[in-house]
Amino acid sequence: MTLFIDVNTLTNLISKVGLPNFMQQLLDYMQSDFKKWEQFDKSARTAAHSSEGVIELMPIADQQQYSFKYVNGHPNNPKNGYSTVMAFGAFADVASGYPLLLSELTLATAIRTAVTSVMAAKALAKPKVDVMAMIGSGAQSEFQAIAFHCLMGVNTLRIFDIDSKAMDKLELHLKQYPKLTVIRCKNAEHCCQDADIITTVTADKNFATILTADMVSPGVHINGVGGDCPGKTEISAELLTLGKIFVEHEPQTRVEGDIQQLPPEHPVNAIWQVIAGKIKGRDNLQQITIFDSVGFALEDFSTLRYLYDLATQFEIGERVELVPSLSNPKDLFGLINASGAINNASVCA
Q: Which stretch binds ligand NAD (CB under 6 A): 72-80, 149-157, 323-331, 338-346?
A: 72-80
Spatial neighbors of 176 by CB under 8 A, at least 6 apart, are none
Interface with ligand NAD (CB under 6 A), residue from 2, 9, 84, 289? 84
Which residue, 113 or 302, is less far from ligand NAD as judged by CB?
Answer: 113
Q: What's the min distance (Å) between Cβ of 339 and ligand NAD?
A: 42
Kindly state whether residue 47 participates in binding ligand NAD, applying the rule CB under 6 A. Answer: no
* Residues in region 143-182 near ligand NAD by CB under 6 A: 160-163, 166
Contact map string, positions 108 to 147, toward ligand NAD, x by CB under 6 A? -x---x---------------------xxxxxxx------
Which residue, 73 or 243, is less far from ligand NAD as judged by CB?
Answer: 73
Q: What's the min distance (Å) between Cβ of 40 and ligand NAD?
A: 17
Kindly state whether residue 72 participates in binding ligand NAD, applying the rule CB under 6 A. Answer: no
Kindly state whether residue 235 participates in binding ligand NAD, applying the rule CB under 6 A. Answer: no
Q: Where are the alpha helices (DSSP H) in the chain?
A: 7-17, 19-35, 106-124, 141-152, 164-174, 188-192, 237-242, 250-256, 271-275, 297-314, 333-339
Interface with ligand NAD (CB under 6 A), residue from 146, 203, 245, 297? 203
Q: What's the min distance (Å) between Cβ of 188 and ligand NAD?
A: 6
Interface with ligand NAD (CB under 6 A), residue from 9, 202, 233, 253? 202
Q: What's the min distance (Å) between Cβ of 139 and ligand NAD?
A: 4
Which residue, 165 or 319, is less far from ligand NAD as judged by CB?
Answer: 165
Q: Which residue out of 33, 161, 196, 228 is catalytically annotated? A: 228
Instruction: Report strand pairing: 99-104 vs 2-5.
Output: parallel
* Burial readout 186-213 (b: 16 or more C-beta within 10 A, e: otherwise): eebeebbeebbbbbbbbbbbeebbbbee
- Nearest CA to 33 out of 107, 115, 102 is that of 115
Spatial neighbors of 207 by CB under 8 A, at least 6 apart, are 231, 232, 233, 261
CA 63 to each of CA 43, 45, 68, 249: distance values in angstroms, whole numbers, following the listed order: 15, 20, 15, 19
Kindly state whether residue 294 participates in binding ligand NAD, applying the rule CB under 6 A. Answer: yes
Note whether 248 and 232 are within 8 A (CB). no
Q: What's the min distance (Å) between Cβ of 234 and ligand NAD?
A: 8
Interface with ligand NAD (CB under 6 A), residue from 59, 89, 281, 295? 295
Kindly state whether residue 85 participates in binding ligand NAD, applying the rule CB under 6 A. Answer: yes
Spatial neighbors of 228 by CB under 8 A, at least 6 apart, are 73, 256, 257, 293, 294, 295
Specify the 3-state DSSP secondary structure of 259: helix
Q: Is 34 exposed, middle or buried (0-12, 13-18, 19+ CB in 10 A)?
A: buried
Alpha carbon distance 14, 4 (integer Å):
15
Which residue, 138 or 243, is less far from ligand NAD as judged by CB?
Answer: 138
Helix (H) or strand (E) holding 49: strand 46-49
Kindly state whether residue 252 participates in binding ligand NAD, applying the rule CB under 6 A. Answer: no
Told to judge if 258 belongs to the known catalytic residues of this protein, a careful annotator would answer no
Query: What is the size of the binding site for ligand NAD (CB under 6 A)?
Result: 32
Note whether 115 and 148 are within 8 A (CB). no
Phi and psi at residue 43, to the nearest 5°: -150, 155
Interface with ligand NAD (CB under 6 A), residue from 59, 73, 243, 317? 73
Kindly state whether residue 293 participates in binding ligand NAD, applying the rule CB under 6 A. Answer: yes
Instruction: Catalogue the active-site residues.
Output: 228
Residues of this chain that bind ligand NAD (CB under 6 A): 73, 75, 78, 84-85, 109, 113, 135-141, 160-163, 166, 188, 201-204, 208, 210, 225-226, 228, 293-295
